[in-house]
């Protein structure tokens, strides 16, 4: 399995979490109370899986490999992708603050912003990972048996396959 295929598969799990957050926000808009534990669980998922696990791989391994193996014109794209990761982190903090302070309108606002920004970001990344970059940039990587952690074996050769 190519590293990019794994990342795109992980995007589907993140979108599922966004669907849950979207439903939570809709419930708040209709006067229903949030279940604090459910919100804490989804925030934990976003922090541990979406940010530390998924975006951590992109920022520490994939993006540097892509930058090294491509032309300098792609630098702006990679910087923008990293900037969006930072925006997403801030929005998750906003969700957490809204939960802690019991401000439903703030929760809805941050949930809607996160949904919009992260869905757009995932769409762009999937397009970049599947078509915009030469195939030789991200060769298949070896993964542990659990497929949860990467070994640092991304090939950054500029030779075409």
pLDDT tops 60 at residue 40: yes
Predicted pLDDT of residue 134 = 54
What distance, in Å, lies between the first and last C-alpha atoms of the chain? Answer: 16
Give dist(CA 5, CA 3) in Å, integer: 5
158 φ, ψ to 5°? -95, 5
Q: Is 158 helix (H, G, I), strand (E, B) or coil?
A: coil
> In this predicted model, which residue has the larger pLDDT, 34 or 137?
34
pLDDT tops 90 at residue 158: no
Q: What is the DSSP letter of 142?
A: -
Q: What is the number of residues in the chain?
A: 161
pLDDT, tens only, 63-99? 888 788 777 777 888 888 899 999 999 999 999 999 9
The answer to whether 143 touches 149, Cβ cutoff 8 Å, is: yes
**For the chain, which residues make up each domain, given as ranges?**
3-137
pLDDT tops 60 at residue 144: no
Q: Is 154 helix (H, G, I), strand (E, B) or coil?
A: coil
Give dist(CA 17, CA 53) in Å, integer: 15
Give dist(CA 116, CA 139) in Å, integer: 31
Task: Tell if the pTM clears 0.85, that is, is over it.
Answer: no
Give dist(CA 88, CA 114) in Å, integer: 6
CATH class of 3-137: mainly alpha
pLDDT tops 70 at residue 161: no
Neighbouring C-beta atoms of residue 145, cutoff 10 Å: 6
Predicted pLDDT of residue 137 = 54
């Amino acid at each position: 399995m190519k590293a990019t295929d794994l990342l795109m598969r992980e995007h589907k799990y993140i979108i599922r979490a966004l669907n849950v957050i979207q439903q939570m926000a809709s419930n708040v808009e209709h006067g229903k109370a949030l279940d604090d534990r459910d919100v804490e669980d989804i925030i934990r998922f976003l922090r541990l899986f979406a940010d530390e696990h998924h975006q951590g791989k992109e920022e520490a391994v994939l993006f540097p490999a892509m930058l090294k193996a491509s032309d300098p014109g792609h630098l702006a794209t990679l910087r923008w992708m990293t900037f969006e990761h930072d925006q997403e982190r801030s929005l998750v903090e906003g969700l957490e603050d809204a939960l802690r302070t019991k401000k439903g309108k703030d929760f809805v606002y941050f949930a809607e912003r996160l949904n919009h920004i992260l869905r757009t970001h995932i769409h762009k990344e999937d397009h970049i990972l599947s078509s915009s970059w030469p195939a030789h940039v991200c060769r298949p990587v070896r993964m542990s048996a659990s497929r949860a952690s990467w070994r640092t074996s991304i090939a950054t050769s500029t030779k075409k396959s």
